[in-house]
Amino acid sequence: MLLSGLSKKFALVMVFVFAVSVMFLVEPSTASVTMPSHPSPAPEIISVEVNHNPIWNPPTYTTNPYTGEVIETSSGSWTLRGTLDVVIKNRPFEPYTDKNGNHINVYYTFFWKRSSENLWRSDPIYVVYQSASGHTVISLTYGGYYQDLWVSWNEVRNFRVQAVIGYFGGGVFEGEGSEWTEFTVTIPGPDNPVTQTPSIPLTPNSPSISNPNNSPQQNPSLFDMVIVRVFVALCVIVVLMVATVYFFKQRKTNSPPNQT
C-alpha cells in the first residue's frame, strides 16, 4: 500500500511538472505590436478639434400648495459633453490576408496620459482601421452615458497616435508599429461651448529603445525569449531528475526485505 501511495504521488508530481513545462515552452500563438529599430514615419494628422458642447440642466422648482411659495428643489448644473475629432491622412497600403487567415491592414492606436503623469497608458483607448479613402476621421466622445474618454472640466490631456501594419481583434493587437505623433488637448470648463484646434508638433517623436516608458508596446527581443525558455527548460529537467531520484530512494527505503 505504501509503495502504491508513493507511485501515485510520483505520477502526480510528474504530471504537474510536465504541465508547467508546457506552459513555459509552448510558442505563443499571438505576438503583440513590435517597434523596429527604424520604424516607419508617424501618422500625419491633418487636424485636431475639440468640440465642447456641455449641456445646461436648468433648476427645478415646486410650489407650496398652501402658501403658494415657490421653492427651488434643485439648482441648475452643467453636464460635460463633447467630442475630440481627429483627421489622419492615410498612407497607401494594399490590404491582404496572411497565411494564418488574418486580414492585414493599417490601423491607428490612441494612447493618452495626464499632463501631470510621466507614463503613458499601457493599453490603447481607441483602435480603428484606416478607411478606404484618403483620410480617416476619428471622433472620440466624452461625457454622457457612452464615452470614449473619461475627462474632467479644464483637464489637460496628452495624446499619442501610432500607425500599425497588422490586425487586431478580441483584445489582441499584432503588427509593426510606426513612430508616433503627439498632441495636447485642454477640455474647456462649463458654460463655455467652444471649438478649439490644438497645435500639433511638426516633428513627430521617435521611440527611445533604451527607455521602455516611451514605448509601451515594445516587446522583448527574440534572443531574450530564447534565453528565458532555455533557462526554464533546464529548471524543468533538474526538477524532474531530483524528483525521480527522491522517489526512487523512497521506494527502495520502504520496500520490504527479500524473503529467503
Q: How many domains does the chain have?
A: 2
Identify the domain containing residue 244 by its residue range.
2-29+223-254
Residue 120's pLDDT band (boundaries 50, 70, 90)? very high
Confidence (pLDDT) at 258: 56
82 within a domain of the structure (yes/no): yes
Burial 148-183 (b: 16+ CB within 10 A, else e): ebebeeebebebbbbbbbbbbeeeebbbebbbbbbb
Beta bridge partners, 229, equal none
Asked, for residue 260, whether it belongs to a domain, the answer is no
* Same structural domain, 112 and 99: yes
Give the mean pLDDT of 117-126: 91
Q: What secondary structure letter does DSSP report for 205? A: B
Choice between 134 and 207, residue whose per-residue pLDDT is larger: 134
Q: Return d(Cα 173, Cα 111) in angstroms, integer.
A: 14
Q: Is the pLDDT of residue 119 over 60?
A: yes
| pLDDT bracket for residue 63 (50, 70, 90) | very high
In this structure, is residue 250 part of a structural domain?
yes
Cβ atoms of residues 48 and 196 within 8 Å: no
CB atoms within 10 A of CB 143: 20
pTM of model > 0.75: no
Residue 122 is predicted with a pLDDT of: 85
- As a whole-number percent, the residues of the chain with pLDDT over 70 amount to 64
Confidence of residue 27 (pLDDT cuts 50, 70, 90): very low
Q: Give yes or no for residue 214 having a pLDDT over 60.
A: no
How far apart CA 260 and CA 256 sit, in angstroms, is 12
- The H or E element that residue 81 is part of is strand 81-89
Q: Are residues 145 and 127 in the same domain?
A: yes
